[in-house]
Structure 1
Amino acid sequence: MRVHVLGSAAGGGFPQWNCNSGNNQRLHEGTTRAQARTQSSITVSADGERWVLINVSPDVRQQVIGFPGLRPAPGTRETGIAAIVLIDSQIDHTAGLLVLREGAPLNVWSTEPVREDLSTGLPLFKLLEHYCTVNWNEISLQQPEFRIPQAPGLAFRAIQLESAAPPYSPHRNDPDPNRGDNIGLLITDERTGGKLFYAPGLGKTGPGVADAMAAADCMLVDGSFFYEDEMVRMSVGTKPASAMGHLRQSGPGGMLELLGDYPDKRRVLIHINNTNPILDPDSPERAEVEAAGVEVAYDGLDIEL
């Protein structure tokens, strides 16, 4: 299985278009070795030809042009994108669907709550009916795993996550991890047996998450915030990381401590917010992450399993 990181930043990307403080300011001024990043998305393939796009960021056009596997295939309007999996209905994971409207019908997999959000609060599916249309397929949390006919060789298992539904969701103030507002994916290459656990939005851990981490050869997991009060520290927000559905990296019970239980796995942080000091390769926080044997994802990172 080949895994390609299309975008490694959280919503807004890095630098965020309207932010001129901290990491963003230093990147604008050229006083940091940090690299610009587009908004979070990956693509996976068993054969290197048929790719499953997991989340569709607003930066998808730039990401497709930058990765040969997804560029136009032979034919008038063909592409290497065989199917799309949405793990939630957040804007930064779904707005790019509108960018893909010129092609053939989109083969989309998601849970029922995500379909509901994208048909009501953020009605992208209804808009797309006037253009390419959407062939929607349900991801059921009761299903042990599912396969995508257009991308043979891969098996997917949905992992329930405790995180926050977006503000426009009817479930925003009614959290229920069993409903499927947010999921992670355990993806298996049926030929090699290689396994990837992908969870860019992870607010809390639980038995399902622990089992997926134990089974995986590689984890691409939530790297949004290093500190619980990071948004407050940077004077760009008032909410703590946990209230936004993300597990901080630092301190007892943080992501670094959690990942420390799996020293034999490849562990990579993705969905990194523009405020996070780990974006700066010379920061003490980045040094702490690397000392723990954990990687920081970047756009263009390739992983083979």
Structure 2
Amino acid sequence: MKARETPGRQADDPLGAVMPLRGHLRELRSRLTKVALSLLAGSALGWAVHEQVVDALAGPACRITHVHGVGAATAACPNGLLVLQGALSPLSFSFKVALVVGVLLASPVWSYQVWAFVAPGLYRRERRYGLGFAGAAVPLFTAGAALAYTVFPKTIELLASFTPASFGLVLPGDEFLDFFLRMVVVFGLSFQFPLLLVVLNLVGVVSASRLRGWWRIIVFLIFVFAAVVVPTGDPLTMLVLAVPICLLFLAALGICSLHDRRKARRPDALLPDDQPSPAPTAEAVGADEPTDAVR
């Protein structure tokens, strides 16, 4: 079935054509195949370096000197805190670490495939905003994950310090890895909050002046959120999470203020509510045409 060109679009625009349902399914299958291959290749590389990754993750727990576990002491973990239970646990734990590494290594590929599948159904302006948001979300999540890895040793040491003197401590490998991943996800997603405020401001849901009026409530809610989601619940870890989010909120407030000022300088922004805005030009209409009428 031949693709039909959408009116109002340039003929040389490869994204300005209507794709039939069968074409959508073929494209989806192609992109899912690429995602699966990238995950497979990343997991293979993760398997090659999984021992080094395990050593980097286990280091914070194995360096705790005042708490000892009931597991066998090894050269890599002399305090015996980390253990694996069951005959299949070492293999499943290694596979899980390799898969996590694979997902991280393949993130540029699968994130691009998701974006490339969604982008043709968006307006050109939305595509520009989407690329900017995706470009900002990745470093923000990475910064949150790096902060979680930095705080992780102190978190483990604090939790282990509550072990009674007459008891030993055992940290199962799966539980240890899941705890670390939860911290990474919580810190990484928390750093997306200021980006969400910028998105709401760009689409006209909330203004910068309103955010400035709500800043005390927002800061209070940030600290409440940090106290709830932090696994340990201690004030130090809560501050480590809340303070960077507050700083990012101030940066987001500055971006929203600049956007509102630029929007206020537009001619149609000064029109009264009962007066219609001028009709858009042909160039403006063509710039905002959706790149795919089906999606």
Question: What TM-score, normalized by structure 1, do the two folds share?
Answer: 0.21
Q: Which has the higher helix share?
A: 2
RCO comparison, higher one (Cα < 8 Å, 6+): 2
Q: Which has the higher strand share?
A: 1
